[in-house]
Structure 1
């Protein structure tokens, strides 16, 4: 940590987002440290979609906005950890740069800094931000389309096998659970409110994407 203007100790904060059980927060920290970053704190969201949930709507995303100050460095594995929505990602990066926060990526080693006053450097920086944000959204949309095509093919080949076991939860319960997780509610409170067991709440919380897909199969 280093001192910046006033008494604020500048920090390097890693923001990590994992949406499936196959992704691990610690891996993102290890990648960042291997790239030469000295991480002071890790802020992480679990089981949250970067496509449908804005950074400011995620429980730890909101905390990130509260934590970051002038002189801090925000590290992300790539811009898609901030989100996969073009408007949200570009707006988020600009908001942080206006605060004097420097955003750095582990992959490609990009740096987004709002301190430059040179118009050409600003133009190149803003174009890169736009390109990376557009790429993140395009990749998400391509993945979703591929998944949709695979689902349709599976339904056609083996409709009964594709659907699998009927879900033990419904759309209303999943929506309520997602809202409560976003508000930072604990598993016990969520279980009481939804009528689901703690084990079910934990399983769904770990992979909202899979839960959504299971409900879709039983529509």
Structure 2
């Protein structure tokens, strides 16, 4: 039975050697390393990558696929979930270096299967959420850099509420979010953000002179 490390390297800061070193330091005995270089985990599905596709031909029942974390498989919820499920159906054990998680299809107990599948879904969703957060931060950094180059004050994201709406939210403190939403016309998500940090909400309005 083989133990194969799959490494996905999408930026110059990431290296195969680093991922292999982490795996070995965690106690994994790696027989072979398979890697995809310069491949986005967001837009390119696992089966569409040259070596991702190759792994489905290489791995057999009883073999282990090791990844640093599930985001090496991808950063798309559906793709990561389906990839792990497909390997388990083939009898391949998927293991992560971080948190030392193990996913296999050995359990026949429905409760254990449900817990396992829920964890897979959570990790897959986290991988996508992290990618979206990184992308948003990059957009903010680009906007800030452009503003500085043009001598323009960076104001951040434009608020989706007015001073009157903010005042109403604060005055209705203690009432349900549904009631506040009905009174202001704001979404529940916006109301939650305002209630969580009213000072930041005031600052946003001040930056945009709304």
Normalising by the residue count of structure 1, what TM-score does the alignment of the two structures yield?
Answer: 0.67
* Residue 29 of structure 2 is aligned to residue 29 of structure 1: no
Q: Which has the larger radius of gyration?
A: 2
Match 2:11 to one of 8, 20, 28: 20
Alpha-carbon separation, structure 1, partners of 2:149 and 2:49: 37
Per-residue CA shift, 1:37-92, capped at 9, x if unaligned? 11011000111110111111111111111111100000000000000000000000
Alpha-carbon separation, structure 2, partners of 1:56 and 1:158: 42
Q: CA deviation at 1:159?
A: 5.0
Match 2:75 to one of 76, 84, 94: 84
Match 1:129 to one of 120, 128, 136: 120
* Residue 95 of structure 2 is aligned to residue 111 of structure 1: no
Counterpart secondary structure, 1:104 = strand
Report what 2:32 is aligned to.
41
Alpha-carbon separation, structure 2, partners of 1:136 and 1:81: 9
Alpha-carbon separation, structure 2, partners of 1:24 and 1:153: 29
> For structure 1, which segment, 35-44 or 150-159, has the greater mean C-alpha deviation from structure 2 after superposition?
150-159
Alpha-carbon separation, structure 1, partners of 2:4 and 2:110: 28
Corresponding residue pairs, total: 151
Ranked by relative contact order (alpha carbons within 8 Å, sequence separation 6 or more), the top structure is 1
Equivalent runs, 1:58-97 vs 2, <5 Å: 58-97=49-88
Per-residue CA shift, 1:81-136, capped at 9, x if unaligned? 00000000000000000000000000000000111101111011001000000000
Alpha-carbon separation, structure 1, partners of 2:81 and 2:14: 24
Match 2:136 to one of 132, 145, 166: 145
Report what 2:48 is aligned to.
57
Give structure 2 stretches of 5+ with no counterpart.
152-210
Alpha-carbon separation, structure 2, partners of 1:155 and 1:139: 24
Alpha-carbon separation, structure 2, partners of 1:102 and 1:159: 53
Q: CA deviation at 1:25?
A: 0.1
> For structure 1, which segment, 134-143 or 53-62, has the greater mean C-alpha deviation from structure 2 after superposition?
53-62
Give RMSD over aligned pairs.
1.1
Give structure 1 stretches of 5+ with no counterpart.
1-9, 161-219
Alpha-carbon separation, structure 2, partners of 1:41 and 1:131: 28
Normalising by the residue count of structure 2, what TM-score does the alignment of the two structures yield?
Answer: 0.70
